[in-house]
Structure 1
Amino acid sequence: MDDWIDYYDSTHTIYVSKLHRDLHFQIIARDIIGYISSPDATVLDYACGEALSASEVANACGKLILAEPAPGVRGRLIARFAPNTKIRVRSLEDVRKMAEQSIDLVVMNSVVQYMTPAELDSALIVIRRILKPKGKLVLGDILRPEVGMFRDVMALLSFGARHGFLRDALVGLVSTALSDYRHLRSRIGLQRYSEDEITAKLAVAGFSVQRAHTNIGHNRWRMTFIARPPFARG
């Protein structure tokens, strides 16, 4: 995961325009809010990235913890959300030290593909420990083995067409093809899991699992899973 952390901590071109970037985070915030079960909930966004719409999520819960491994991104989060008393920014090391059964909802969106299987296993053990007995983990944007880059391209173009940045999306795809992202993706690859594989991983970590009807974000070719401690309801 370290190479990907360095990439996202750099001046990258993963978003084709400001509109694309802003809409991306707005939609993710909207979808996360849909999983918040109480206005008093403590929510942890694990490896949150820039989280530009985190204030909207914070408005829907009691406390929002933004956990981010990239130090540069983390610094921007601290500066951006310093006035908001409901938001706290933490490192992943801080997450490992959190109190047992202290979090109501953990969201790990568009993160699993950048982790090695061992890194994911370790993270799931930590999350299982800090979740409350009736809490839940939402794993979003899981890449499927049978779905390749072509579907990602089509999802972006469709997103751009719906929201008025199709031309930027086309230009951005060319830029991405020549960028460090493409080289890094080719060299390291992205982790992909079938529904059975991710369910088995979560079960080993002590969760009961169900697949969500829709994925977090705009890419319908990817999967989201809802995981709970055994016997949790609601």
Structure 2
Amino acid sequence: MADTRPTPWLEEWDRGQHAYFGDRHKAAHFAALARSLEPHLPAGGVLLDYGPGDALHVPAVVPGCRQVVLCEAAPRIRAGLGDRFGEHPDVRVIGPADLPDLAPGSVDVVLVQSVLQYLTAPELDVLLAEAARLLPPGGVLLLGDLVAPGAGPGADLAELVRFAARGRFLRSALARLAALPASTYARTRRRHGLATHTVDALTATVAAHGFDAHPLGRNLGNNAARWTLHARRR
């Protein structure tokens, strides 16, 4: 996991997360993630969150764990996490290059939320191998916010608008929506696309790394157009 060379998607996220319609959307997004994570938290154990972004969910998640390790590849975002959580006794901020320093079997749950769509197949294999090393038998890997084949930007936008309506920030969301097609996020998505996964194919991929897996009934977070795979280390 030491290869952190810039990729178009990594550079995009490090510039600023333009997938959100504003601060209220970002806060509501992370609040929904925290609520959906609650039944999966390792009481008295260690949660490794790979690719946490701004990690606004962490204050709500920490009480359900002994420690939260935030592994963020984007340098600017990682520096911000270090500033926010550097003095927190139960939160550790690292980069992918630091993962080999974690002892085998030292993590109880690995969360990879809204990350796989930005990874190539070789990058996914490296991530799964590292998760298999870090998790003991019975440890849990959560692969969330997965994009199914054929799901285009329209499905995500429809879910975001419904989420904005429920969260009562629809007016500001619609105002920002008009500018979204010209954003760097939209341009990067049009140029590079998103990796998609079927249940059968991804289940087979994680099985090859020593996991038994099944899809959850509902996606982690707020996007019902996407899905989550729950995998347990054999």
1:85 and 2:89 equivalent? Answer: yes
Sequence identity percentage: 35
Deviates more, 1:5-14 or 1:203-212: 5-14
RMSD of aligned Cα (Å): 1.2
- Partner residue in 2 for 1:182: 186
Which 4+ stretches in 1 moved above 3 angstroms?
none
Matches of 2:200 and 2:228, distance apart in 1? 13
Q: Is 1:122–2:126 an aligned residue pair?
A: yes
Corresponding residue to 1:27 among 24, 28, 32:
32
SS in 1 for 2:15: coil
Structure 2: tracts of 5 or more residues without a match: 1-5
Letter in 1 for 2:37: I
Contact 2:148 2:198 in 1 (8 A): yes
Q: 1:3 to 1:96 in 2, by over 3 A?
A: farther
Q: Matched residues in 1 for 2:17 and 2:104: separation?
A: 36
- What residue in structure 1 maps to residue 9 of structure 2? 4
Give the Cα–Cα distance (whole angstroms) in 2 for the partners of residues 34 and 176 of structure 1: 34
The equivalences for 1:33-44 within 5 A come to 33-38=38-43, 40-44=44-48
C-alpha distance in 2 between matches for 1:37 and 1:58: 10
| 1:97 CA drift (Å) | 3.1
Q: What displacement does 1:72 show?
A: 0.6
Equivalent residues in 2 for 1:221-232, closer than 5 Å: 221-230=225-234
Q: Which residue of 2 aligns with 1:213?
A: 217
CA offsets 1:2-55 (integer angstroms, 9 cap, x no match): 2111111113422112110111111112222220142x1101000111101212
Q: Counterpart of 1:64 in structure 2: which amino acid?
A: V
Structure 1 residues 174, 96: closer, same or farther in 2, change over 3 A? farther
- Cα contact 1:211–1:223 (8 A) shared by 2: yes
TM-score normalised per structure 2? 0.94
**Contact persistence 2:86–2:93 (CA under 8 A):** no
Residues 1:49 and 2:53 aligned together: yes
One-letter identity of the residue aligned with 2:215 = R
- How many aligned positions are there? 229
Q: C-alpha separation between the residues in 2 aligned to 1:85 and 1:72? A: 22
Q: What are the superposed Cα offsets for residues 164-198 of structure 1, whole Å, 9 maximum, x if unpaired?
A: 11122222222111111111111111000111111
1:13 to 18, 28, 38: 18
What is the TM-score of this pair, normalised by structure 1? 0.94
Q: How far does the alpha carbon of each residue in 1:108-143 deviate from its partner, in whole angstroms, 9 at most, with x for none?
A: 000000000110011000100110212100000000
Q: Deviations over 1:78-120 (max 9, x none)?
A: 1111231000000011113321111000000000000001100
1 CA distance for matches of 2:26 and 2:52? Answer: 14
Deviation of 1:217 after TM superposition, in Å, equals 1.0
Is contact 2:142-2:230 (8 Å) kept? yes
Query: Are the equivalent residues in 2 in contact too, given 1:32–1:107 (CA < 8 A)?
Result: no
Matched residue SS, 2:32: helix
Task: Name the SS of the counterpart of 2:230 in structure 1.
Answer: strand
Which of 134, 155, 158 is matched with 2:138 structurally? 134
User: What secondary structure is seen at the aligned counterpart in 2 of 1:132?
Assistant: coil
